[in-house]
Amino acid sequence: GAVVSQHPSRVICKSGTSVKIECRSLDFQATTMFWYRQFPKQSLMLMATSNEGSKATYEQGVEKDKFLINHASLTLSTLTVTSAHPEDSSFYICSASAGGSSPLHFGNGTRLTVT
């Protein structure tokens, strides 16, 4: 079945530094990938839609300069949390679809802790 790989699974960084999270589709090409954020005991909040070869589309309230998204190939999207602050600590999950009516498949998430 479709596999989405997300790295790293866990990262701890200091305030002010930047962190890059990778999302790869391993056995299919993903023209579109999605980035979600999940707070403890809460549902997933869509942050942005990553489109291969074009700019990402951000949801209302998500700072595009803080959460940089790059979708350079059909199998890789990256989310960079710039100048991280403790309030950015969260669980970030990516998902990918082969497009059309194909269902979404999710990575295993990245637990970010900013100290």
Using CB under 8 A as the criterion, which residues of the chain lie in contact with other proteins when the complex forms?
Answer: 6, 32, 34, 42-44, 46, 49, 93, 95, 97, 99-109, 111
CB-nearer residue toward other proteins: 44 or 82: 44
Least distance in angstroms from the C-beta of 16 to other proteins: 26
In terms of Cβ atoms closer than 10 Å to its own Cβ (0-12, 13-18, 19+), residue 79 is buried
CB-nearer residue toward other proteins: 95 or 114: 95
Residue pair 96/32 in contact by the 8 Å Cβ criterion: yes
Beta strands in 29-75 (DSSP E): 32-38, 44-51, 57-58, 67-73
CB-nearer residue toward other proteins: 5 or 82: 5
Least distance in angstroms from the C-beta of 14 to other proteins: 23
Whole-angstrom distance, CA of residue 82 vs CA of residue 52: 21
